[in-house]
Amino acid sequence: MKNKVLVVGGGGRCHAIVDALSRSEQVEKIWCAPGNAGIAAQAECVPIADTDVAALKKFARENGVDLTVVGPEAALAAGIVDEFRAAGLKIFGHTLAATRIESSKEFAKELMAKYDIPTAGYRSFTRYEDALDYVSSRPFPAVLKYDGLAAGKGVVIAADLVEAEAALKSMLLDSAFGKGKVVVEDYLEGPEFSFMCFVDGRRVYPMPLSQDHKRAFDGDKGPNTGGMGAYTGLPFISDEDRDFAYTNILCRTAEAMAEEGRPLSGVLYGGLMKTADGIKVIEFNARFGDPETEVVLPLLKSDIYDVFDAVASGREAEPLKWKKSVTLGVVLASKGYPGKYEKGCPIELGDMSGVSVYHMGTALKDGRLVTAGGRVMMVVAEGVDLHVARDKAYEAVARVSCANLFHRDDIGHCAFETGVARVIDGNAISAAVKDRVKARVPELEAEYGRKPCLSVIIVGENPASQVYVRNKVKAAAYTGMDSRLIELDAAISEQELLEKIQELNSDDTVDGILVQLPLPRHIDESKVIYSIAKEKDVDGFHILNVGSLWIGTDCIKPCTPKGIIELIKSTGIDIKGKTAVVVGRSNIVGKPVAKLLLDENATVTIAHSRTADLKAVTLLADILVVAVGHENTVTGDMVKPGAVVIDVGMNRNAAGRLVGDIDYASVSRVASWVTPVPGGVGPMTIAMLMENTIECFLAREKRR
């Protein structure tokens, strides 16, 4: 069933929501009220203000809207959710009672105190004199927050008493944001980050973490803004930090609001800080953050309509799937922002392929795109790491022409100052290898009258083995070579299996033979491996190939070690003369990798889990390969700054996450390049298998 959706709002946040909805297979029509010039390319814009609840309700009813999604806080504060629900209209967003978590700082602080949710200490005041006396008795800086909504301008960090007096006077005596209270908080130190979740009562669906940049100018200088950029992939927040924040802050807050009779039913935005005493709450918002939404939603692989509809309907949603990549977005703002600025300045967009452009304050004038707000647009790029995402984003920003725009040049600086390794993208590199093989296959067929042929044997029904075998056969099909999958019962005798291998050894049309390991216990794996003809041993495991590797004669090199060398070379590093340390001494990876590095003229040390003072050894490595099969074998303090680190491990940690042999978070802050898990070494094994099949084919044809 196709659905009709109304998105309420008109900035970059709503453009990102519309963009995500446009990718949904469940949506046939999108309206946006009021929308903007960029949104108009993906949705029909409706000239209704986001706070005109009566008009929006009338529009939704008359146009058969199946679901309304609310973007900005102003619409929520206008009571749109309560009004729509009373009219029987399905809507994604919090009720007025639930938005109290954002609209009242005092309410939020009292809630956190009651339910033991970590935050800064505080006091609330209605009288200017009392607030000033309290602030005067406390150390500076002082954090002063207006209790109600203030369009993001109700927080002042006063460096001294003069600034504090001015802020308190503005909030309490001059009623700059209306009559209300002021919350005075203890000043906390540490990096801030944003953690958004979809929440339906007690069900909490987390989104990727992000960090925005509030100050107008580079170096976090200048006045506060609505946000000048944001990014995902925060190296200073560990998985443990994230898990703590999810369980002890976001989930606990959802539980608390439900207990208070104010259940959440939209997005809960946690503005958090990593302090020396742990993760603490700076603020809560009851809606998508802006500009965080623009860098988070592009990473969503799941259908966003499903989670919107599930939350709005009160049903459980499917677990959300997210891309492994990261994003970085740069806001282009009108000169003068956040103060006075000119509108109506023409904008010319160059080639924006490969990035997303979310319009925040644009309009069409005589068919031309012009500025219509303080923050005008946000250019968002995706990449395997922040280096790639940043380069793509700023290259695209340079292709935006407008005399009246400015932007920050240091988005993501906190991450880069912490340390961010470049990611060695095994998926991309393996794809390039397979494409190389794919281009070679028709050439070989034209020259020799046949295609290379790979035979894969699987014994039994081991689920993991079946996945590996399917991937190998799929890769062979992609390259265009012939492949044969031979599936044998787990009860097959060792002799029967050996006879099947001998048939393939004698088959002149078969170039490569692979037997998927592990085998049933009653079969001797070594005997099976050594029964494969040396010249057809595409895995490179045969004792004659292993021996030839070590004495330096022609041989078939084992796939994973060969792939590791390819990954190292992809970084551009000259292996010659470098110090390489291989942690792991297996015959399948550790030892052959060491030999291949020696062949590249590196100075190589083989270490292992029982090496005395392993840290002293690994700290010498320009190239560090870790292949021991135990998580956290190597941590950041064991890595030489600027080293290239290859993580061969594949383990499940206590939380069930797939991890490698290194502590990725700490190592990536020190290394220059690092492989991820998954997506690093793993894909290369199959790619090198395809390349080895080509080499076996050529060697056999040359012997004819």
Segment 427-447 mean pLDDT = 97
List the CATH number of the domain containing 635: 3.40.50.720
Instruction: Tell whether 357 and 414 lie within a shared domain.
Output: yes
> Whole-angstrom Cα distance, residue 94 to residue 77?
9
Instruction: Tell whether 230 and 323 lie within a shared domain.
Output: yes
Euclidean distance between the first and the last CA atom of the chain, given in angstroms as a whole number: 61
Q: Could you report the per-residue pLDDT of 475-521, keeping only the tens digit for each?
A: 999 999 999 999 999 999 999 999 999 999 999 999 999 999 999 99
Residue 655 resides in a domain: yes
Instruction: Tell whether 156 and 39 lie within a shared domain.
Output: no
List the CATH number of the domain containing 461: 3.40.50.10860
Label residue 606 by pLDDT band (50, 70, 90): very high
List the CATH number of the domain containing 53: 3.40.50.20
Q: Could you report the per-residue pLDDT of 612-652, keeping only the tens digit for each?
A: 999 999 999 999 999 999 999 999 999 999 999 999 999 98
| pLDDT of amino acid 537 | 96
Instruction: Tell whether 388 and 465 lie within a shared domain.
Output: no
Instruction: Tell whether 82 and 16 lie within a shared domain.
Output: yes
Instruction: Tell whether 26 and 52 lie within a shared domain.
Output: yes
> Whole-angstrom Cα distance, residue 56 to residue 81?
11
Segment 452-458 mean pLDDT = 97
Q: Report the candidate in 81, 680, 627, 215 with the shortest Cα–Cα distance to residue 425.
A: 680
Q: Is 175 annotated as a binding residue?
A: no
Give the pair of three-digit tokens for residue 253: 């807050």
Residue 517 resides in a domain: yes
Question: In the Cβ-directed half-sphere of 456, how many Cα atoms lie within 13 Å?
Answer: 24
Residue 330, strand partner residues = 229, 379
| pLDDT of amino acid 654 | 84
> The domain containing residue 73 runs over which residues?
3-98
Q: Is 226 annotated as a binding residue?
A: no
| pLDDT of amino acid 165 | 87
* DSSP state at residue 556: P
Instruction: Tell whether 41 and 128 lie within a shared domain.
Output: no
Segment 448-474 mean pLDDT = 93
Label residue 154 by pLDDT band (50, 70, 90): confident
Instruction: Tell whether 437 and 412 lie within a shared domain.
Output: no
| pLDDT of amino acid 693 | 97
Instruction: Tell whether 395 and 459 lie within a shared domain.
Output: no
With a cut of 80, say whether residue 153 has pLDDT above it: no
Segment 604-618 mean pLDDT = 96
**Which residue, of 418, 446, 464, is where some domain finishes?**
418
With a cut of 90, say whether residue 609 has pLDDT above it: no
Residue 217, strand partner residues = 221
Structural domain total, the chain: 5
With a cut of 70, say whether residue 151 has pLDDT above it: no
Residue 688 resides in a domain: no
Lowest-pLDDT choice from 127-141, 507-521, 570-584: 127-141
| pLDDT of amino acid 152 | 65
Residue 382, strand partner residues = 327
**Which residue, of 491, 516, 538, is where some domain finishes?**
538
Residue 684 resides in a domain: no
Instruction: Tell whether 411 and 461 lie within a shared domain.
Output: no
Residue 73 resides in a domain: yes
Residue 559 resides in a domain: no
Instruction: Tell whether 375 and 492 lie within a shared domain.
Output: no
> Whole-angstrom Cα distance, residue 391 to residue 181?
45
Q: Which residues contact 217 (CB under 8 A, 6 or more apart)?
A: 408
Instruction: Tell whether 523 and 488 lie within a shared domain.
Output: yes
Residue 567 resides in a domain: no
Q: Is 586 annotated as a binding residue?
A: yes
With a cut of 70, say whether residue 692 has pLDDT above it: yes
Q: Please give the residue that has the higher pLDDT: either 81 or 148.
A: 81
With a cut of 90, say whether residue 655 has pLDDT above it: no
> Whole-angstrom Cα distance, residue 36 to residue 40?
6
With a cut of 70, say whether residue 116 has pLDDT above it: yes
Residue 640 resides in a domain: yes
Q: Could you report the per-residue pLDDT of 237-260, keeping only the tens digit for each?
A: 998 999 999 999 999 999 999 999
